[in-house]
Structures are given as C-alpha cells and as structure tokens.
Chain A
C-alpha cells in the first residue's frame, strides 16, 4: 500500500472500485452503496482526491425549482381550480362578486372550464382533474420530470425557475485502480481496525486484530502552553550573559531616595530630569533617610565646590531635597548603592523596574525594565569599556557595534553604543555607557575608575521580536500575542 488511509477512505475507494463501470457516481449513490453517511463520503472523497486516487468531477446542471408563487400553489392548489369549484357549487357567479380573482378567471377561461356572458360566469365542461397542476408542481419540487408542455406553461406563469446546480460525481483514477487492487490483494481489512487505543483494548488483546493507521501529516490543533512572559525570557538571557562574564547580581528598592537616585550620581538638584514633569515623587512615604554624615557631606561638597580637583556644580546643595523619596528613575540608583563602600575589583549588574512620569504611547511607558552593569578596577580604561560593550551586545545578538560620543551627567567619557540591526539594515542606538565621573565615585569612597552601561530591556525585545508597540508587553498582556512569541531567543 502506498499510503495511510482513514477507514472511510478505504471503504469509499473499495466502493468506487466496485462501481467503476457504472455511470457518474454522486455522493448520494455512494452513500447508499458504501453505507457511509453523505458527510463522511464527501470528506473521504476529498482526502482520496488529494492523494490522486479519485477525481472529483464537477458538472453544472440545470434544475427546475419552484418560485415562491409556485411553492404556494403546490400547497393550496392553483387559483383557477378554486374558482371553478366556487362557480360550480352555485351554478353561476356575478363577475362583480369575483373582484381580485382576475388571474383565476383568465386561466379557467383559457382552460375551457368556464364561460362569461353579460357579467355572469357559468361553469362549462367538468375538468378531468382540477388538481392536476398542483400535483405536477409537487413533482417538480421532488425533482421528478413532468411533460414538456406543462413545464413551458409553468415557466410562462413564473411558477418555476431554471437554476444552474453544481453536481459532483466521483471517478476512480488509474492510480486509484492500482491502489485499490493492492488493497484487495492485501485484503481490505482496515475498515475493521481499532482507532483509539484504550486500557480495555490493551488488556483484552483486541488490539491484535490490528490498529488503524493515522496520517501524521494531517494538521493538528495547538494547546495552550504554560509559558514565561517574553520579557522574562529576555531578562533571563541577559542575566545569564552577565553571570557568564563573572558579574554579581544586585537589587534595590523601587521607592528610592533622591539622594541615591540623583545626588549620589552627581545630578545637580535643579537638573531637568529631577523635575516633577519627569520624575514620580512620593506623597507617601514623606521622606527618606540619608546615609552616614561623612558620605552625605562628601556628596554635598562634590556638588557645591567639587572634589578631587573638580569645580563642582557651584550651587547650594540641600539635604532636604535629597531626602525626597521618588520612584527610581533608573537602576543606576542600585549601582550607586553598590558603589557605596565597594572594594574593587568588582563587576556588578542589575535588572530591574524603573519609572518615568510619562504619558503612555507606543514608545513610552511610565514603567520599564532597565539593565545595568558596572566594572570597578584600578586598571580599567576607556578601551575596556568599549570591550565590555562589544562583548555584551554581541552575546545579546548584535555582532556589529559602533560608538558615538554622548552626554550623561554622571559619566565622562560618555558613549552611546549603536548596533547594526540586520533586519532593517540600519544602525540603532541601544543604551548608554561611560566611565563614572570622579565626583560620583570619590564621595562614595571608590578610587578606581568605574565603567558603567545600561539599556532598557524593552528596546532589544521590540527590535528582535518586531513587537514595536511596547504597550502589548505590560499594558495589555495580550494572551493571544504572548502565546505566539517564541521561547528560544
């Protein structure tokens, strides 16, 4: 046998083979002959024709069917019959009493059943069968033939309509005959095979009679799978990259003091990114505690008049402002905490939520996930920063990278890495990086240079998955979409 067959297929093919010399085999006939219902015949025929074993021949045939008027008369009888009965009952009728029966009068007269003189209708010869036409209409409805003359008359009276109807019939192909003969040799047994295997069938040994073959190439439905969120999958990938490179994982509070979020990072207190329009300040809690006085004083000095040879920002720094709690605007706040009392060499990373006072659109969300890495060591240089960036982004899947000067208040040199995005054939800015300023590291007690870089998680996910509207990730959690995203990234 050249293929795997559903039992209905084998039954149908056997049947068509047996009847191969008769005229066109339609579904009705085959249903009767095979014992399958019409639906099963249609399905099996389609499968067999896909395998090239039978041909489905579609012919257009004209069939007569009743119009609405025809249907009505097939039930009530024709109007002239009723009129004749009425007139015959009374022997006569006045024309003026027969208003609305003009059509009936016309046809009764035409058929010679009545005569009209001086406004009076009288019956003529008694017709053989006044209900003959009703019977004929019913014949047509049943699909049977009627005399040609009558057919024309009904057509003229608009009681029947000629309609084209598609008729399907099946014919076995050469390949089908070969296959059927192979079947016959092997003994058509498959229609008796067992489908679903059950514990009873296994125990009883019934299975020994043979099990039905299944066509595994047929399409299957999908299950709803247990699955991690697309951003979790990417966050884990990135976490693994950092761990593989020997970094230590860190975490910090979502509600953060302005001190760690801004001041420790040498962002002046009137810096635009600290404004209400950009940062979520807290109504509750009301205030945060600052760290030890030595650190606070050192940060204050860095801002006001500078440390380590710096001029500072030259303004009056306020501890009150530094105490204001905010929702952290970047995970760099976590890095600042990590730096506090850090003993180099150290490599630290953080993946966490950050908040900006943004209105929601397809590019901006009030919440996003930030990724951040720092490397502190006495001997690191600008080249090492570029090296880590190159390595990190290439492990992330971007093998081509270039670097552009940028500006961040807490780094110098500042770099914007751009990666080459193969799909779109263009350079895309992806994150920021730099060497932390001495005004940042010095007050926190770190003498070594510190390399730092960060990016948002959503950006590479959007780039790599093509899901450009980042709202779909958190905002909507569209399950249909999440179910479609790939697990291996």
Chain B
C-alpha cells in the first residue's frame, strides 16, 4: 500500500519501511522548538526530571517572541528562565530581543527547516513548516522537555485529507483566503487528528508565503499538520538558506486518503472569519461596511514581506481612517529591515500606522494592541476566539493583509477592490 508524504516522513524518522494511519511510532526529531510562554514550563519539567544534558544543542530553538520586548515583570522572569537555560546548555538557536522574530516566520528564514525534516514545537502553529514539505506539529511543554532530553517523541500516524487546489487565484486572493475558505468548509475540527495534504495544479500559483499561511492555519481545522509538495519554488526558497542535505518526499499514487476536498481558487472571493471561530467565514461581499476599531497586520500567519508589500501598496497615498488605529508588525528583523529598504515603513508611518518590532503581541492579547469591551479588530492573525485580543467582550475578524489594509483606509470592513 502506498504512503502519503506525512507517512513517508514519519516512517523514515521511525526507521520503518512502512507506516499507516493509526500506527503509534517513536520518531527521531530534527528540531525541537519553544517560545517564552512554553519553554519556561518545559524547562521546569526538564529540571525536575533531572536530565543532565540536552540531546543536541544544535537541534533546539528557543525563540522569545510572545511577550517581548517584555511587557511586564512576570514575562521578564519567563524570558530570564529561558535565557539561563539557553546559556547553560549553549543552545545554538536562541533568539532574544534584537534578533528575535515571530518563531514560524523566523525558523524558515534562518534555514532551520528543510524539506523532509521532522519538527515539533511547543506552539500550536508549528504546523507552518509543512509549506516546505516537512512534517511539523505543535505539542505541549512536557513534549518539548522530553524532546530536548531525548531527541525522540511518540506520534500516532494521522489519517490524511487530500486537499486538491485547482485554478489560478484572482488578483486579491491570497493564501489566507484559501485557508479560511477551507476551514469554513470543513470546520474547526474537520481535520481533527489528521494530516491535510495539499496538492493539485493550483499549488504552482501559490507563493511560498501563501503556502506558509495555509500550512500555518491547518491547526485551526484541528489538523496535526498541513503539508505541501516540494516544487521549484520550495527549492528556490531553501537554496540560499539551507546548506545541509535534505530529502524530498512525494506521496505515492496509491496513497490512502480518508477524504478529498477540492477548492477551485479561481472562484474564491476575499474571505474573512467573523467572531468567534475561524470556521465562521463570510465573503467580503457579505460583511462590507462592518465597523471596526483596530487593524492588526502581522503574526506568524501574515507578517511576512509579501504581506507587508500588499498592505503598503494599498495604503500608499492614503491616510488611515480616523475611526480606527492600525498596528503593523513585521514578523522578523530581516522583514523589518527589508521594509525600511523598500520604503514600506515610510508608507505605513506616513499613513498613520504604528509600526512595531517583531512580536506575537496582540495576536494572543499579549500586548501591543489589546482591546477593551465592545471593540472589534480586523486582523491578519489566526484566531478569533472569545477574548483572544483582550477583553472577553471584544471581537476579532480574521482577514488577509489586502482586506485589512483596505479596511484601514476606508474605516470599516472593505475589499481591496473598493479602493
């Protein structure tokens, strides 16, 4: 029987010729990731267990991105714990304020992820690296601690859903619109415990940034991972970033899929998710004019350079509406510098946006843009749960950078076509 991409990567890392959905396996890890919220809990577990060393100081990444630059004394203590641990074991890939970026934008940019690798991260959006043809999934802090100590973890081989992407997306349709549409179709538990395997002739139209956005939100459908085939765009992306050898896996023609979902990207409209679930999707035509108080452009979902180019391109020559405030957060220091070099930062600041250094910040209601009761944001982030960006009675609408930028100029939810 044939295997999916996910099954092949898991089999290779378990040292097995074949695995199938439902098998429980123990697999070798290529990278173990944590951030300033999850690492301290993992470090506490690690220390209490009395492990004398980490399995490989080159294969652990600790990224202080959630509450940094530290929002308060307690978060400074979390970062201190992580920093001391990184120094104690001489962790190679430790990123502190000044080098840090939002983890799932940073790791691919730094070449820490390559096709065919197996990565666990104590952050649910670790599934982002599926865009590169890697198997990556979110875990908790105890898994991170066990991974740091042993370089191993257990996995249940997931059943797969094949997502066939067809057609060329229209001008304003991005990866965000594709993944929101998919989550709207299958629901927030539509891929629970499962792997989303993206394929189809439409994949070639998607930029790497679009693919990162799509894989990033696989978890919002409950997915264990969301993986793309490796093509010329993938190879071009990793070419100047990854120097170690890597393996490209392809799904067998007779691989088993539990179900198949087809999406014709040429027919999609700009799509948003209304409060309070990412599956509560509407096309822009159904929500145009909805009042908003805040716009957030950033995050591991949509804080990459292409997102900033799209947003700046729409905002250029305008002032943001007086009805709202706009927060722009480049996801990494490199993106921050590229934005300056390309004049994007100038465009945002001239228009009246606040431009922050990299942080997860408002996405999880951490800092840099929390809302009070009764406020509503349109945000390029990934979750719109109750209280996600602040007060329990505040609301988040999820959207693409194009829709967020158009809304910033017009002052209520708007389509880029309206500008």
Q: Do A and B come from one complex?
A: no
